[in-house]
Amino acid sequence: MSDVSTTVPHASPRTIIDRMLELLGRHDYSGFADIFAEDAVCDMPFMTVPVLRHIEGREKIKATIAGAEAASPIKLGEVRSPVVYETSDAELWFVEYTATGTVTTTGGSYRTTYFVMLRIRDGLIHYYRQYNESGAAIIASTTPAG
């Protein structure tokens, strides 16, 4: 998969956000990491897996997210209803979306909302901070479907 920085030099922040949502919806976490700057920081303070709470560097982001996704029974499903908020700071953007998912160990499903703060410069994400309510996924992880 080619990353957006090589196919769209200095892509606009909105283009990067649209690409991010597309990649997440396709579960392409390698492609997702490719739209980060080499020295990017990814913070997800409410994640239940501590290693995901603070990650520095594109390659570390790529490896950490891929490893966590492979090991976790919680699988992201469809990304829905994105709302993008532009600010007076050209680099600062906020994105809110809903995602569905399933838990492979229980067959349970969940739906949760994500709120992401982004700093995008020169066609790449330099800072990513994600807040999400993880209770629905936790309940689906402990409750058999049916």
pLDDT digits (tens, 9 = 90+) for 50-96: 889 999 999 999 999 999 888 888 788 899 999 999 999 999 999 99
Rounded-to-integer distance, Cα 9 and Cα 5, Å: 5
Domain range annotation of the chain: 9-142
**Poorest-pLDDT segment among 3-7, 61-65, 82-86, 117-121:** 3-7
- HEC string of 49-65 equals CHHHCEEECHHHHHHHH
9-142 fold: Nuclear Transport Factor 2; Chain: A, (3.10.450)
List CB contacts of 7: < 8 A, sequence separation 6 or more.
Answer: none
- Whether 111 and 137 have beta carbons less than 8 Å apart is answered as no
**CA 36 vs CA 25, 39, 109: distances in Å:** 17, 8, 30
Q: Please state whether the predicted TM-score (pTM) of the whole model is above 0.95.
A: no
